[in-house]
């Protein structure tokens, strides 16, 4: 588990880029999943924006709360992939995600960011069981005004 | 006079099951089966529940909208293709395909946001003067759209994070209020002091026409936390709601004004559920009046929130342009459909 403190949204984006770079090589064989845990306003969407930036995505990464899944195609080192941004706030059961076709999103070379994954950690483990994934759990916490304590760990 | 096309439309993009019959721009029926009660306990739309409710009610809604109208007299079928929840969109598309095939009608695929954009043209004998500026504010979208021609749109600005309606919902949640947040907050704000809490007007120093509400959301969170729970009485809620609403509306007005200044639209068209917010609506009208620009507002509340009559209006223009679905079997949902690929500069 690594921990750091960011002092504004821009730094949260930079950190996302850094964590992505640390794990980038996984994409050759795996789907990279960022599980973003944190309360309202801790910067989950900012983190996702940072990932989008790292992937060279030009489209604006917006909150996925309305459509639950937003997708953004990208190309990195000549390899195409899709960045999926999910909001799990209102999803309770694995069946609900399965009916949204989440399993089909998991392909080597793709990147998935999930907001509010803590509501169903077991759900996610069940869904991703036996699929080619590397999951990075990211915890975002409010500190003083503007400050966020962010810790992350990866599990293969 | 040439007969106007009679169109049966379906919209199941989110949490309302809707069907309507339109004759040209006249609305003959506009039926909405609202799912709000189903989703309220969850504080937002739950896709699977939405899908099931759509499936359960679609036939009844379509039949009620179609009522006494003979299948033979219907000229085309229209359906929302996106944006929206994938598994909800599917239900309407499936039904529309079945009807189109069974009765051998041409099918028109409509962008839900074009429906909102053109919703003020329903029941309106006046035609919009081009170019017009659309201000669309809803639970899932906040957009400024320029139309040089009906059917050709440029997104001038959009939200970089949360939609305005989403911000209302999230702040309502922080305050321990119910769902949907918009109507509750605007009701409370009526008796509140909007100068009580100093909240930042988002994007005030940003030069683009984009919106952002996540910073305001976080500022609200910090402010609310500072106030002990026992002090959060009714008057606190009213004042906070008024202050939040003020900051949010001012940020929309700021960008709206800027867009009017730059693009000199001949008219302004409003659409989307958040336009129901009377403070926002008033401020938009006031601003437009300063520029001598006329504002079109959908004729009734039902045309503002999700409905199928607005899909019928957008379909009417597509009908005139003969934009029909070529292969009905191939038509698929597009949950991320956009009125265009944004062509403005990207932030940072």
> What residue spans define the domains of chain A?
2-155
pLDDT of residue B347: 35
pLDDT of residue B186: 96
Measured CA angle at B46 (ends A67, B189), to 5 deg: 85
Which chain B residue has its CA at the smallest distance from A48's CA?
B161
Which of B83, B210, B217 is opposite residue A67, by nearest beta carbon?
Answer: B83
> CA B298, B299, B301, B305 torsion: positive or negative?
negative
How far does chain A reach from its first CA to its final CA, in angstroms?
14
| Strand-strand pairing, A69-76 and B76-82 | unpaired
pLDDT of residue A54: 96
> What are φ and ψ of residue B255, in 5° steps?
-75, -35
Residue A128 pLDDT more than 90?
no
pLDDT of residue B40: 84
Distance from CA of B297 to the nearest CA of A (A): 24
List chain A residues with CB under 8 Å of B43: 90
Measured CA angle at A115 (ends A111, A118), to 5 deg: 115
pLDDT of residue A156: 59
Say if the Cβ atoms of A58 and B346 lie within 8 Å: yes
**Cβ neighbours around B211 below 10 Å, total:** 27
Residue A91 pLDDT more than 80?
no
pLDDT of residue A62: 92
In this structure, what token pair is assigned to residue B135?
């201000």
Which chain A residue has its CA at the smallest distance from B85's CA?
A67
Q: What is the pTM of this model?
A: 0.89
In this structure, what token pair is assigned to residue A110?
């793709």
pLDDT of residue B145: 98
Residue A18 pLDDT more than 60?
yes
What residues of chain B have any CB closer than 8 angstroms to a CB in chain A?
Answer: 14, 42-48, 51, 83-87, 139-141, 158-163, 166, 170, 173-174, 210, 214-215, 217-218, 221-222, 335-336, 342, 346-348
The torsion defined by the Cα of A51, A66, B112 and B187, in degrees rounded to 10, comes to: -130
A99 lies within 8 A of chain B by CB: yes
pLDDT of residue A144: 82
Domain with CATH 3.30.420.40 in chain B: 6-120+302-330, 130-298
For residue B297, the Cα-to-chain-centroid distance in whole angstroms is 12
Fold of B6-120+302-330: Nucleotidyltransferase; domain 5 (3.30.420)
pLDDT of residue A155: 65
What does the alpha-carbon distance between residue B130 and residue B128 come to, in Å, rounded to a whole number? 6
> What are φ and ψ of residue B249, in 5° steps?
-65, -40
CB A94 within 8 A of CB A112: no
Which chain A residue has its CA at the smallest distance from B46's CA?
A90
CB B273 within 8 A of CB B306: yes
pLDDT of residue B343: 37
Strand (E) or helix (H) holding A117: none
**Cβ neighbours around B315 below 10 Å, total:** 31
Q: Select A2-155's CATH number: 3.40.1410.10, 3.40.50.300, 3.40.50.720, 3.10.200.10.
A: 3.40.50.300
Which chain B residue has its CA at the smallest distance from A92's CA?
B46
Say if the Cβ atoms of A60 and B139 lie within 8 Å: no
Measured CA angle at B289 (ends B185, B112), to 5 deg: 55
pLDDT of residue B346: 35
pLDDT of residue A73: 93
pLDDT of residue B2: 64
pLDDT: is B101 or A94 the higher one? B101
> What are φ and ψ of residue B110, in 5° steps?
-120, 145
CB B254 within 8 A of CB B261: no
SS3 B344: coil
Residues in chain B predicted with pLDDT less than 70, given as ranges, are 1-2, 341-348
pLDDT of residue B43: 76
CB B123 within 8 A of CB B26: yes
Distance from CA of B124 to the nearest CA of A (A): 30
What does the alpha-carbon distance between residue A66 and residue B165 come to, in Å, rounded to a whole number? 10
What does the alpha-carbon distance between residue B76 and residue B104 come to, in Å, rounded to a whole number? 9
- Best probe of the B interface among A62, A70, A100, A145, by most B CBs < 10 A, is A62
- DSSP code for B166: H
Q: Select B130-298's CATH number: 3.55.50.30, 1.10.760.10, 3.40.50.720, 3.30.420.40.
A: 3.30.420.40
What does the alpha-carbon distance between residue B251 and residue B340 come to, in Å, rounded to a whole number? 23
- DSSP code for B96: H
Say if the Cβ atoms of A62 and B162 lie within 8 Å: yes
Distance from CA of A70 to the nearest CA of B (A): 7
List chain B residues with CB under 8 Å of A142: 221
Which chain B residue has its CA at the smallest distance from A41's CA?
B218
Tell me what the mean pLDDT of segment A55-76 comes to: 90
What count of Cα atoms within 13 Å lies in the side-chain half-sphere of residue A91? Answer: 29
pLDDT: is A41 or B254 the higher one? B254
């Amino acid at each position: 588990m690594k921990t750091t403190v960011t002092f504004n949204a821009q730094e949260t984006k930079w950190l996302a880029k850094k964590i992505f770079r640390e794990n980038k090589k996984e994409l050759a064989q795996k789907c990279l999943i960022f599980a973003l845990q944190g309360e309202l306003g801790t910067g989950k969407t900012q983190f996702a924006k940072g990932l989008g930036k790292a992937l060279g995505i030009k489209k604006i990464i917006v909150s996925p709360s309305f459509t639950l899944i937003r997708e953004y195609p990208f190309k990195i080192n000549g390899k195409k992939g899709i960045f999926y941004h999910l909001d799990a706030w209102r999803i309770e059961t694995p069946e609900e995600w399965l009916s949204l076709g989440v399993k089909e999103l998991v392909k080597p070379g793709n990147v998935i960011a999930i907001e509010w994954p803590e509501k169903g950690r077991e759900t996610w483990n069940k869904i991703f069981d036996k699929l080619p994934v590397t999951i990075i759990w990211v915890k975002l916490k409010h500190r003083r005004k503007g400050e966020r304590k962010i810790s992350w760990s990866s599990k293969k | 006079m040439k007969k106007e096309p009679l169109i049966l439309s379906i919209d199941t993009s989110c949490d309302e099951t809707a069907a309507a019959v339109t004759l040209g721009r006249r609305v003959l029926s506009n039926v909405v089966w609202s799912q709000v009660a189903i989703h309220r306990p969850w504080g937002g739309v739950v896709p699977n529940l939405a899908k099931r409710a759509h499936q359960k009610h679609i036939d009844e809604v379509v039949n009620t909208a179609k009522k006494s109208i003979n299948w033979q007299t219907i000229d085309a079928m229209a359906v929302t293709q996106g944006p929206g929840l994938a598994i909800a969109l599917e239900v309407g598309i499936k039904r529309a395909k079945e009807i189109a095939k069974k009765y051998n009608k041409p099918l028109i695929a409509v962008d839900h946001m074009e429906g909102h954009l053109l919703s003020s043209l329903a029941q309106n004998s006046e035609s919009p003067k081009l170019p017009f500026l659309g201000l669309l504010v809803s639970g899932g979208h906040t957009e400024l759209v320029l139309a040089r021609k009906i059917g050709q749109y440029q997104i001038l600005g959009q939200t970089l994070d949360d939609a305005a309606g989403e911000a209302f919902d999230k702040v309502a949640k922080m305050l321990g209020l119910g769902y949907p947040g918009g109507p509750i907050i605007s009701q409370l704000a009526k008796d509140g002091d909007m100068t009580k809490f100093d909240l930042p007007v988002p994007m005030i120093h940003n030069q683009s026409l984009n919106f952002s509400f996540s910073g305001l959301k976080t500022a609200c969170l910090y402010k609310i936390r500072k106030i002990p729970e026992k002090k959060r009485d009714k008057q606190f809620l009213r004042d906070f709601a008024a202050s939040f609403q003020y900051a949010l509306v001012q940020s929309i007005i700021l960008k709206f004004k800027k867009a009017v200044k730059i693009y000199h639209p001949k008219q302004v068209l409003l659409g989307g559920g958040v336009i129901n917010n009377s403070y926002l609506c008033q401020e938009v009208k006031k601003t437009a009046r300063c520029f001598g620009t006329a504002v079109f507002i959908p004729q009734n509340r039902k045309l503002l929130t999700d409905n199928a009559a607005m899909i019928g209006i957008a379909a009417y223009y597509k009908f005139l342009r003969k934009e029909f679905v070529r292969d009905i079997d191939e038509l698929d949902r597009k949950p991320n459909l956009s009125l265009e690929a944004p062509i403005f500069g990207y932030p940072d």
